[in-house]
Amino acid sequence: MALILLTNDDGYDAAGLQALYKEMKKRYDVFVVAPHAQQSGSSHSLTLRKPIRVEKLHDKFYIVGGTPTDCVLLAYHDLMKTGIDLVVSGINHGPNMGSDVFYSGTVAAALQGASLGIRAIAISIMGDASCDFTSAVKYSCDLIGRVLASDRRDLILNVNIPDGKIKGEKITRMGKRIYKDKVIRDRAKKNVIYSIIDGVLSYRADNDTDFKAIDNHYVSVTPLKLDLTDFDAMEKLEGHLKARSG
């Protein structure tokens, strides 16, 4: 039976994680290591050189006073140590599409698993904690089975599921997220300023993107990679630097 590490960034008691955990336990050996509290937007941050509180809630279920990345590292190096076949992060409340992946704690947990040589899936749904997770859980378990059966050992999948009826599945690329950020100055006292970062999110639903798939009620499956090198720019950059130095 496959051994799966389940985590998230919404916290151990989040509806999405709990719904997926309940179904996955019927099919796999599931080990949960999840944050104690909400960690959305934590990206790939981790806790260094400070004690992290780890509480055993029950057998193979641990709560961590840290980030999703902390959870994966603690599971791999201490709580589980060996034999992890797959890291699953989710089901996240709300989407993680386009450049959201750079901010997402959900996606970061999957990337951390991949950096340790483990196949990984980050799963998000368009709805919030009050939505019906039935279809999303059913789809997720089916995808998990297909990933475990695959010969690919380097898979990192960012999955976004529409809320409600699922028409099918699309393999997609990252779309264009548009951030209309603003800073609201809440109050100031002497030399101390309190500000709130807020704004409106938008996107461009180009063909073959995660946004387009979700708009059409398809599951978006976007393969990711750890190497962010822009290989197309390497030769041009080398030539530019030589020209400048010469």
Q: Are 55 and 62 in contact (CB under 8 A)?
A: yes
Q: Are 20 and 123 in contact (CB under 8 A)?
A: yes
What pLDDT shows up at residue 81?
Answer: 81
Q: Is residue 243 part of a domain?
A: no
Report DSSP state, residue 103: T
| Closest to 113 in 3D by CA, of 92, 86, 135, 94 | 86
Per-residue pLDDT of the chain (246 residues; tens, 9 = 90+): 999 999 999 999 999 999 999 999 999 999 999 999 988 888 999 999 999 999 999 999 999 999 999 999 999 999 998 899 999 999 999 999 999 999 999 999 999 999 999 999 999 999 999 999 999 999 999 999 999 999 998 999 999 999 989 999 999 999 987 767 778 878 788 889 888 877 766 777 789 999 999 999 999 999 999 999 998 898 888 877 775 654
User: What is the total count of domains within the chain?
Assistant: 1
- Segments forming the whole domain that contains residue 29: 3-175+206-226
Task: Residue 36: give its domain's CATH number.
Answer: 3.40.1210.10
Query: If you count them, how many residues does the chain have?
Result: 246
Q: Is residue 44 part of a domain?
A: yes
